[in-house]
């Protein structure tokens, strides 16, 4: 039997390694267009590779996937974050769980993760690594496949598409897998960017470039007047907003129209304090304790000073006003800005900086217990090419490992029984 794996990223490397570990009696070709394997894996997590998450609660884990969570249940049960950790550690890649539950190699070197796969695959007689070989076309006839690359034409009995999405294109993931899946009869859903920053209209945010709010809340309306909130660290930049809470926002807005002509309005609550009254109580207490101080300095005990300066401009209150002289209506203006939040207008996504692609191969056409195509029994799919995407925190690699593992295990079973 001849098996082709198209794409040597997270999912493809896991499929190939699983086939090796399961001692599958087949010739395995791994095609990777780059001259190295796992280019995106190596740079992920800022070069440290956030391999998975320390979250163990299944419901919480599934809530981190914006699309595909239900589909992922069997894969995440069969190869959970804990299993992923055990797997890497049993292969001499020691890991650590950080305070926010992100899991990294102890070395903080993403390359260590990729090198493990090189070790597994290079020591196998069964795997042929075809790096620097780009698959140009896949066609299928009578459940057999022909693959044309930039070097040669091949015939295969079984194909696994693990070519990733189309985010961070310079890493090789240029969306080719969608064309291959389509050529095999699959439907591709709408595609959109996810886990990206936003350019915004408000100049005051840009003036605060470099300032971060460790626990901000963003409130927005999703389709059909559905109010949604996301919470976490936010970073002001020279173009707008970024950081984990903004990436979470972008995941929800992956398919929303956002432009200068059609800006998306959101609200920023900088301390994620729910109610106007709670802010008011805090502000009142601060004022009564610091009555002789300028209001700028008083409020700077609650919020970053540079932000308070902008807040006071928005509230039309002189920053050097004595705290004791701030009127009730002025206090109301401040608290009304903070809760529910200050309105911001998103005017565009930061082009090309999204981490993942939302959308992909239609999940209804893939068996989630095996990763086998429902349209062709000799075709498997795994990783970001599927209509699955998660938030930041190790969830996207986790789904790539888990779907890759499940595909590998089931291909091994299939080959054994044939």
Ligand X SMILES: Cc1cc2nc3c(=O)[nH]c(=O)nc-3n(C[C@H](O)[C@H](O)[C@H](O)COP(=O)(O)OP(=O)(O)OC[C@H]3O[C@@H](n4cnc5c(N)ncnc54)[C@H](O)[C@@H]3O)c2cc1C
The contact set with ligand X (CB under 6 A) reads 6-12, 31-34, 39-41, 43-45, 49-50, 134-135, 162-164, 167-168, 172-174, 176, 355-356, 383-385, 394-397, 400
Nearest distance, CB of residue 176 and ligand X, angstroms: 4
Written as six digits, the tokens of 323 are 């705290």
Q: Which long-range contacts (CB under 8 A, 24 or more apart) does 43-49 make?
A: 43/110, 43/171, 44/110, 44/397, 45/102, 45/104, 45/110, 45/394, 47/109, 47/110, 48/104, 48/105, 48/108, 48/109, 48/110, 49/104, 49/105, 49/109, 49/110, 49/112, 49/113, 49/397
Spatial distance between the Cα atoms of 303 and 306, rounded to a whole number of angstroms = 9
Which residue's Cβ has the minimum distance to ligand X?
9
- Give whichever of 5 and 335 is closer to ligand X, judged by the CB atom: 5
How many other C-beta atoms can be found within 10 angstroms of the C-beta atom of residue 67?
Answer: 22
Nearest distance, CB of residue 214 and ligand X, angstroms: 20
- Give whichever of 317 and 361 is closer to ligand X, judged by the CB atom: 361
Spatial distance between the Cα atoms of 348 and 73, rounded to a whole number of angstroms = 34
Nearest distance, CB of residue 397 and ligand X, angstroms: 3
Spatial distance between the Cα atoms of 88 and 92, rounded to a whole number of angstroms = 7
- Give whichever of 11 and 272 is closer to ligand X, judged by the CB atom: 11
Nearest distance, CB of residue 300 and ligand X, angstroms: 35
Written as six digits, the tokens of 260 are 């200068």
Nearest distance, CB of residue 146 and ligand X, angstroms: 15
Per DSSP, the chain holds a count of helices (H) and strands (E) of 14, 23
- Give whichever of 50 and 269 is closer to ligand X, judged by the CB atom: 50
Nearest distance, CB of residue 200 and ligand X, angstroms: 22
- Give whichever of 132 and 278 is closer to ligand X, judged by the CB atom: 132
Written as six digits, the tokens of 245 are 């809470």
- Give whichever of 110 and 240 is closer to ligand X, judged by the CB atom: 110
- Residue 228 CB-density burial (10 A; 0-12 exposed, 13-18 middle, 19+ buried): middle
| Beta pairing, strands 65-67 & 389-390 | antiparallel
Nearest distance, CB of residue 394 and ligand X, angstroms: 4
- Give whichever of 29 and 220 is closer to ligand X, judged by the CB atom: 29
| Beta pairing, strands 158-161 & 198-200 | unpaired
């Amino acid at each position: 039997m001849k098996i082709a794996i198209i794409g040597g990223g997270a999912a493809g490397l896991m499929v190939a390694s699983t086939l090796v570990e399961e001692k599958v009696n087949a010739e395995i070709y791994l095609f990777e267009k780059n001259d190295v394997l796992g280019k995106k894996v190596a740079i992920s997590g800022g070069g440290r590779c956030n391999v998975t998450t320390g979250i163990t609660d299944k419901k919480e884990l599934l809530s981190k996937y914006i699309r595909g969570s239900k589909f992922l249940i069997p894969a995440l049960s069969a190869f959970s974050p804990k299993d992923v950790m055990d797997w890497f550690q049993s292969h001499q890649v020691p890991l650590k769980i950080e305070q926010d539950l992100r899991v990294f190699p102890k070395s903080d070197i993403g390359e260590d993760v990729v090198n493990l796969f090189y070790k597994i695959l290079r020591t196998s007689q069964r795997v042929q690594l075809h790096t620097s070989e780009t698959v140009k076309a896949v066609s299928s006839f009578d459940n057999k496949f022909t693959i044309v690359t930039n070097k040669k034409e091949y015939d295969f009995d079984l194909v696994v598409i693990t070519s990733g999405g189309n985010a961070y294109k310079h890493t090789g993931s240029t969306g080719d897998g969608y064309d291959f899946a389509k050529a095999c009869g699959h439907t591709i859903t709408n595609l959109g960017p996810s886990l990206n920053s936003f350019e915004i209209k408000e100049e005051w945010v840009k003036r605060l470039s470099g300032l971060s709010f460790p626990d901000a809340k963003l409130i927005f309306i999703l389709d059909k007047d559905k109010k949604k909130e996301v919470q976490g660290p936010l970073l002001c930049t020279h173009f707008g907003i970024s950081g984990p809470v903004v990436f979470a926002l972008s995941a929800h807005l992956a398919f929303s129209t956002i432009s200068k002509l059609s800006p998306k309005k959101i609200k920023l609550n900088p301390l994620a304090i729910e109610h106007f009254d709670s802010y008011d109580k805090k502000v009142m207490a601060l004022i009564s304790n610091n009555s002789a101080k300028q209001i700028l300095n008083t409020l700077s005990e609650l919020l970053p000073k540079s932000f308070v300066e902008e807040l006071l401009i928005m509230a039309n209150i002189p920053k050097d006003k004595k705290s004791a002289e701030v009127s009730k209506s002025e206090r109301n203006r401040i608290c009304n800005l903070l809760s529910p939040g200050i309105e911001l207008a998103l005017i565009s996504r930061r082009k090309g900086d999204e981490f993942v692609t939302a959308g992909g191969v239609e999940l209804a056409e893939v068996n989630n217990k095996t990763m086998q195509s429902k349209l062709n029994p000799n075709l498997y799919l795994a990783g970001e090419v599927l209509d699955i995407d998660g938030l930041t925190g190790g969830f996207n690699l986790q789904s790539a490992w888990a779907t890759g593992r499940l595909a590998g295990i089931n291909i091994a079973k299939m080959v054994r029984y044939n």
